[in-house]
A and B are shown apart, each in its own frame.
Chain A
Amino acid sequence: MTGSESLSRGAGQYGKLLGAVGISVAEECEDEGENRYFDAFKGKIELRESLP
């Protein structure tokens, strides 16, 4: 709609960038518009598993 080109790094590279700043990816999925989305949180996987 805007005429701007979409710029995506791809799922794998985003995962690496997130990990480098202390964000862990809990889940990667795709919506009905074929957008990849990341459900992530700040901290290590063990942190989320320890939460109620």
Chain B
Amino acid sequence: MDRSNGYEAVSEEFLAGRGSRSRSAGIGVKEVRKWARTLPRGSSVIDLGCGSGFPITAVLVDEGLHVFGVDAAPSFVAAFQRNLPGTPIICEAIQESRFFDRTFDAVLAWGLMFLLKSEDQHPLIQRFAEIVVLGGSLLFTSTDQPFGTMQ
């Protein structure tokens, strides 16, 4: 059963596009870099739905943060390990992940939330609160107006 919201099936196309090093200046890079620079160097950050590590996770690494990744697509995890060797990553569905069984100074979920079903979004927000330390940061994307098939 695919737990990657369809990304594993299109991984080759994705990895050649946004997930490639050549797209390191893609959408979100500027915003994530700005956020990353508000965090003390060495802060622990978990990137949920990190994909290949490009372009977003690489920004966190560049900014001197202690980065962890989670992605459900095996092809993306393999690419991440090639792109950012030494950066911990687990291949788990976000909905079921144990998030390394630890807390973090910051949580990033860029381009993730609106891929999840309605019933998975609320529990994930609860998990945000559980895995980030008091005073810790959270950055995530949604869209401005409700749409899709949600009730």
Contact = CB atoms under 8 A, between A and B. Distances in A.
Interface of A: 1-11, 13-14, 17-18, 21-23, 29-43, 47-48, 51
Interface stretch (B9-17, B58-66, B75-83, B84-92): B9-17
Contacts of A41: 132, 135-138
Interface size grouping (class) on chain B: 35 or more
A21 B141 CA distance: 18
Nearest to B118: A7
Interface string B1-32: 00001110110011000000000000110110
Contact of B31 (A8, A10, A21, A37): A37
A47 B132 CA distance: 15
Contacts of B5: 2, 4
A38 B150 contact: no
Interface in B94-136: 110-111, 113-118, 121-122, 125-126, 128-129, 132-136
Given A6-B115, A36-B143, A31 B27 contact: yes
